[in-house]
Structures are given as C-alpha cells and as structure tokens.
Amino acid sequence: MTDKLTKQKRSENMSKIHGKDTSLEIKVRKYLYHHGFRYRKNVSDLPGRPDILISKYRTVIFVNGCFWHHHHGCKLATIPKSNTKYWKDKIDKNVKRDIRNIQLLEQMEYHVIIVWECEIKECFELRMENLISEIKEYELFIKHDILD
C-alpha cells in the first residue's frame, strides 16, 4: 500500500517529530526534580544518549515512545498500513539499537530504566512513584554491594 500523504506533507509531518525534550521527557524530569533528584539530560557521551542521567545513582532513564521503540504488547506500537516495509525495517532497527545500547550501559555498570509513553499517559503518578522506587532500590543494591 502506498502512502496516503504527498511526499511534501509526509516530510512536513516528520519534521515536527522531536528526538529530545519531548513533552513526556519534560514531565518526567520535572517530577524527578521536584522530588529532589538532580540529573543531566541527553547525555551524548553515553551509548544511546540517555534522556536522563542521575549520576549519584548510576542510573539512566529512557523515556520511550511506544510507536518508535515498539513497546511489545502495547496498543500504540502498531505498524502503519501504508509503506509497511519501510516502517517495519525502521522500527526493527530502533529496537535492535535500543537493545545494543542497554547492554553497553549495563556493561558500564549503569542501571537502565525505560519509562514508556503509555505508562505516563495511563497512570503518571503511579509510574513516577515506581520510578523513584526503582532508583532508590538500585542505590541500596550499590551500597550493599560496596559494603560486602
């Protein structure tokens, strides 16, 4: 099936999609900051350029769109009906790159957390409470590991 939009209109639509400082990322960062976490954003010297790095906790956070990073089992992670091969290949590359970057970060002893778009949209407060728990649990793990 061919694209329903003209090349010009498709290009215009695609140019409006941002790779960083999305509304979801900003929402997560504001929540973390409000709860006392200090971070760096879009850290270019780490694999995958994490959206958020909390150095104190050796934790990186990716705020992933369900469509772009193909959140398995999510209703937002669909393949468009037009230009299907292109989109499937593109999303498959994104997923493989994500896996590779997570493995590299873990080898560097970073704790990697993925926050999905649907989680933020469906139940923001609960997801953020769980995020803070994940960060603090890893801190306890690190402290316990160091003391042993």
114 within domain boundaries: yes
Q: Would 37 be classed as within a structural domain?
A: yes
Q: What is the pLDDT of residues 92-125, one digit of tens each?
A: 999 999 999 999 999 999 999 999 999 999 999 9
Banded pLDDT at 24 (limits 50, 70, 90): very high
Cα separations in angstroms, 101 against 8, 49, 133, 134, 138: 33, 9, 23, 20, 19
For the stretch 37-95, pLDDT in tens is 999 999 999 999 999 999 999 999 999 999 999 999 999 999 998 889 999 999 999 99
Q: Is residue 4 part of a domain?
A: no
Question: For the segment 123-144, what is each residue's pLDDT rounded down to a tens digit?
Answer: 999 999 999 999 998 777 766 6
- What stretches of the chain show up as alpha helix (H) in DSSP? 7-15, 23-34, 84-107, 117-147
Domain of 24, CATH number, reads 3.40.960.10
Domain with 66 in it: 20-147
Query: What is the average per-residue pLDDT within 18-42?
Result: 91
Q: What one-character DSSP code corresponds to residue 52?
A: E
SS3 state at 121: helix
Task: Say which amino acid occupies 74.
Answer: C
Alpha-carbon torsion angle 23, 26, 27, 33, nearest 10: 180
Q: Give the count of beta carbons closer than 10 Å to the beta carbon of residue 51.
A: 23
Q: Domains in the chain: how many in total?
A: 1
> pLDDT exceeding 70 applies to what percent of the chain?
81
Per the model's pLDDT, the better-predicted residue between 6 and 122 turns out to be 122
Confidence (pLDDT) at 48: 96
Q: How far apart are alpha carbons 22 and 3 in whole angstroms?
A: 26
